[in-house]
Chains A and B, each alone.
Chain A
Amino acid sequence: MRHFIGKRAFASGLSLIGLVVLVFFLSRLTGDPTALFLPLDASLDSRERFRELHGLNDPLLVQFAHYVWDILNLDFGDSIRKARPALEVVLAAFQWTLILALTTIFFVTTSAIIIGSLAAFYAGGIFDRVATFLSLIGASAPDFWIAIVAIVLFSVNLGWLPTSGTGTIWHWIMPVAVLFIRPFGLVLQVVRGSMMTALSSAYVKTARAKGVRVRPIIFVHALRNALLPVITVIGDLSAGMLNGAVVVETIFGFPGVGKLMIDSILQRDFTVVLAAIMVSAMAIFLMNLLIDIAYSVLDPRIRY
Chain B
Amino acid sequence: MSPHLLEVRNLSVEFHTLHGQVKAVQGVSFHLDPGETLVILGESGSGKSVSASAVMNLIDMPPGEITSGEVLYRGKSLLEMPSEERRAINGARIAMIFQDPLAHLNPVYSVGWQIIEMMTTHGMPSDQAKRRAIELLGRVGIPDPEVRMKAYPHQFSGGQRQRLMIAMALALKPDILIADEPTTALDVTVQAQILALLKELQLETGMGLLLITHDLGVVAEVADNVVVMNAGEIVETGPAAEVYANPQHPYTKRLIAAAPGSGEMAEPLAASGQPLLRLENVTKNFGTIEALKDVSLTVMPGEIVAIVGESGSGKSTLAKTLLRLEEPTSGAAFYNGRDLFQMSPKELFGIRREIQMVFQDPTQSLNPRMSVYELISEAWAIHPEILPKVKWRDRVAELLELVGLSADHARRYPHQFSGGQRQRIAIARVLALEPKLVVCDEAVSALDVSIQAQVIDLLEGLRNEFGLSYIFIAHDLPVVRDFADRVVVMQQGRIVEEGTVREIFETPRDDYTRALLAASLDPDPAVQAKRRAARLEMEAARP
Contacts and interface: CB of A to CB of B under 8 A. Distances in A.
Interface string B136-175: 0000000000000000101000000000010010000000
Given A210-B168, A211-B90, A202 B98 contact: yes
Interface string A167-181: 000000000000000
A301 interface: yes
A68 interface: no
B524 to A, nearest CB: 33
Contacts of B57: 208
B107 interface: yes
B95 interface: yes
Contacts of A27: none
Interface in A69-127: none
Given A201-B103, A299-B108, A301-B152, A210 B118 contact: yes
Contact of B92 (A205, A208, A211): A211
B87 A213 contact: yes
Interface residues of A, number: 20
Chain B, interface residues (CB within 8 Å), range:
20 to 34
B91 A211 contact: yes
B4 interface: no
Contacts of B249: none
B117 interface: yes
Contacts of A207: 106
Interface string A217-248: 00001001100000000000000000000000
A295 B450 CA distance: 46
Interface string A149-168: 00000000000000000000
A206 interface: yes
Q: Report which residue of A211, A212, A299 has the largest number of chain B beta carbons within 10 angstroms of its beta carbon.
A: A211
B106 A225 contact: yes
A202 B100 contact: yes
Contact of A209 (B91, B152, B154): B91
A203 interface: yes
Interface string A263-304: 000000000000000000000000000000000001111000
B108 A209 contact: no
Contacts of A201: 103
Contact of A211 (B88, B103, B105, B152): B88
A202 B90 contact: no
A128 to B, nearest CB: 14
A64 to B, nearest CB: 43
A225 B108 CA distance: 7
B111 to A, nearest CB: 11
Contacts of B89: 211
A201 B165 CA distance: 16
Contacts of B92: 211
Contacts of B103: 201-203
Nearest to A224: B108
Query: Max chain B CB contacts within 10 Å: which of A203, A210, A224?
Result: A210
Contacts of B106: 203, 206-207, 221, 225
A203 B114 CA distance: 11
Given A202-B100, A203-B103, A301-B154, A211 B108 contact: no
Contacts of A224: 108-109
25 contacts: A201-B103, A202-B104, A203-B103, A203-B107, A205-B58, A206-B96, A206-B104, A208-B57, A209-B58, A209-B96, A210-B90, A210-B117, A211-B87, A211-B88, A211-B89, A211-B91, A211-B121, A212-B121, A216-B121, A225-B107, A299-B108, A300-B107, A300-B110, A301-B108, A301-B152
Given A205-B58, A206-B105, A208-B57, 10 more contacts: A208-B58, A209-B58, A210-B118, A211-B88, A213-B121, A216-B121, A225-B107, A298-B108, A299-B108, A301-B154
| Interface pairs A-B: 10 shortest CB-CB | A211-B90, A211-B91, A202-B103, A210-B91, A203-B106, A209-B96, A202-B104, A300-B152, A206-B104, A224-B108
Interface of A: 201-203, 205-213, 216, 221, 224-225, 298-301
Interface of B: 56-58, 87-92, 95-96, 98, 100, 103-110, 117-118, 121-122, 152, 154, 165, 168
